[in-house]
Chains A and B, each alone.
Chain A
Amino acid sequence: MKYSYITPRRKSVLTKEIQLLLTFFTITILMLFVTYFFLLIKDYTYVDDMNDIAISRSDLEKDIQTMKAQITFIEKENLIAQKIYTKNIVLKDSITNLFDLVPQRITLSEAKLLENGLILYGITPNKDIYNFMLQAPLRSIFHRTYSSFYPAQNGWLRFVSTNYIDEELSLSGEVYNED
Chain B
Amino acid sequence: MLSKFFETIYQKVFVNIVVKSTSTDVYIELCSQNDVVDNFESNFNGVKMSEEMLGFIKSYISESPFFFISVLDMSASQGALPTCEKNRLSYYCDISASEYKCYNEKWTYYTSKTDLYEVERRYKDTGVDFIFSPFTLLANFFKDKIDSNLAMYILIQDGFVSLSVFDNSELLFAEHLDMESPHVNDDLLMDDSSGELDLEDGIDLEDIDVVDSGEPYDDFSDIEDLDSLEEIDEFSDNKDVEEEFYHEEEGLSKEDENPDGFNEDYQRFSLIQSSINHFYKDEKYQSQFIENVYIADGVGISSELKRYLEEEMFLSVYVRHVELGAEVAELARMEMGA
* The 8 A-B residue pairs with the shortest CB-CB distance in the complex, in nearest-first order: A8-B129, A4-B130, A3-B136, A5-B131, A13-B6, A13-B65, A11-B66, A5-B99
Inside 8 A of B66's CB, which chain A residues have their CB?
11
- CB of B111 closer than 8 Å to a CB of A: yes
Closest Cβ of chain A to B111, distance in Å, is: 6
CA distance A2 to B10 in the complex (A): 24
Set of chain A residues within 8 Å of B6, measured between Cβ atoms: 13
- Report chain A residues within 8 Å CB of B120: 6
What is the CB-to-nearest-CB distance from B142 to chain A, in angstroms, rounded to a whole number? 15
On whether A13 and B68 interact (CB within 8 A), knowing A4-B131, A6-B131, A8-B129, the answer reads no
Report whether A5 and B133 are in contact in the complex, using a CB–CB cutoff of 8 Å: yes
On chain B, the number of residues with a Cβ less than 8 Å from chain A's Cβ atoms is 28
Q: CA A13 – CA B67 in complex, angstroms?
A: 11
Closest chain B residue, CB of each to CB of A4: B130
A11 to B336, CA, bound (A): 12
Q: Which residues of chain B come closer than 8 Å to A2, judged between CB atoms?
A: 334-335
User: In residues 44-69 of chain B, which contact A (Cβ within 8 Å)?
Assistant: 65-68
Pairwise interchain contact A5-B116, C-beta atoms closer than 8 A: yes
Interface status of A96 (Cβ within 8 A of chain B): no
Is there contact, CB below 8 Å, between B132 and A4?
yes
Q: How far is the CB of A17 from chain B (nearest CB, A)?
A: 12
> Considering residues A4, A6, A8, A12, which has the most beta carbons from chain B within 10 angstroms of its beta carbon?
A4
Question: Cα distance A11–B65 when bound, in Å?
Answer: 7
Q: With A4-B132, A5-B133, A6-B128 given, is the CB distance from A12 to B65 under 8 Å?
A: yes
List residues of B whose CB falls within 8 A of some A CB. Answer: 3, 6, 10, 65-68, 70, 73, 99, 101, 103, 111, 116, 120, 127-133, 136, 140, 331, 334-336
Cα distance A58–B158 in the bound complex, in angstroms: 98
A171 interfacial by beta-carbon distance below 8 Å:
no
Q: Are A6 and B133 interface neighbours, CB within 8 A?
A: no
Whole-angstrom distance between the Cβ of A11 and the nearest chain B Cβ: 5
Chain A 1-26 interface 0/1 with B at a Cβ cutoff of 8 Å (1 = within): 11111101101111100000000000
* Chain A: CB-nearest residue to B70: A4
Q: Closest Cβ of chain B: how far from A8's Cβ, in Å?
A: 4
Interface pair B103/A3, CB less than 8 Å apart = yes
Residues of A contacting B336 with CB < 8 Å?
A: 8
What 0/1 readout, one digit per residue, does chain A (144-177) give for beta carbons within 8 Å of chain B?
0000000000000000000000000000000000
Chain B's closest residue to A8 (CB) is: B129
